[in-house]
Amino acid sequence: MKFTKKRFFDLLWVLAFAIILIPTSRAWLLKIISFSPSIEKVSERISISSYNWELKGINTQDVNLKAFKNKVVFVNFWATWCPGCVAEKPSIQALYNDYKEKVVFLTVTNETKDIVNAYFKKKGYNLPAYNRSSMEPKELSTQSIPTTFVIDKKGMIVIKSGRADWNTDSIRDYLDTLIAE
């Protein structure tokens, strides 16, 4: 059987559909095409109106956002079934490994403790994970996941992003700047 140009393109179409339809393939593809998030323009930044947001710890202690006023906070809304969330989680873990003493990381999900702990164990993650105990501040409300917010020490949202590669030099440099302020 002769391998023709038409067969080659047919094979490419089959591979493309497989990547799109198989969830693990989608996460892999999204990871490859992830980009560094952009920083909000100063004129477009909004301030957190209320720090009263209670979170129930899944693999850590319960917290209230009030405890993190005047600190740099990284808030990530995610789920284990979300391909974009799965794709960006390794970059968040890498950032957490290096910044956990300087930045507050809040990874927030609606999933159960068992699901999250099993997923983290399988992937080797040790990020602090939370469920909402109360509604988040309206400025952190989102209709899609993944969504990540970075809040500076003054309570301004300086980054709001969907799926992204968080383990980049530009993000690390920016976090260093925020920490130094």
Name the residue among 145, 63, 71 with its Cα closest to residue 111: 145
Check residues 155 and 44 and name the one with the higher pLDDT. 155
The identity of residue 72, as a single letter, is V
Domain range 35-180, CATH architecture: 3-Layer(aba) Sandwich (3.40)
What's residue 45's pLDDT?
Answer: 84
Check residues 31 and 13 and name the one with the higher pLDDT. 13
| pLDDT per residue as tens digits for the range 23-74 | 555 555 554 555 556 676 777 889 999 999 999 999 999 999 999 999 999 9
Domain boundaries of the chain, sorted by first residue: 1-33, 35-180
The identity of residue 127, as a single letter, is L
The pTM assigned to this predicted structure is: 0.80
Asked if the model's pLDDT at residue 175 lies above 80, the reply is yes
How many Å apart are CA 10 and CA 26, to the nearest integer? Answer: 20
E strands, the chain, in order: 54-57, 63-64, 73-77, 104-108, 129-132, 147-151, 157-161
Asked if the model's pLDDT at residue 150 lies above 80, the reply is yes
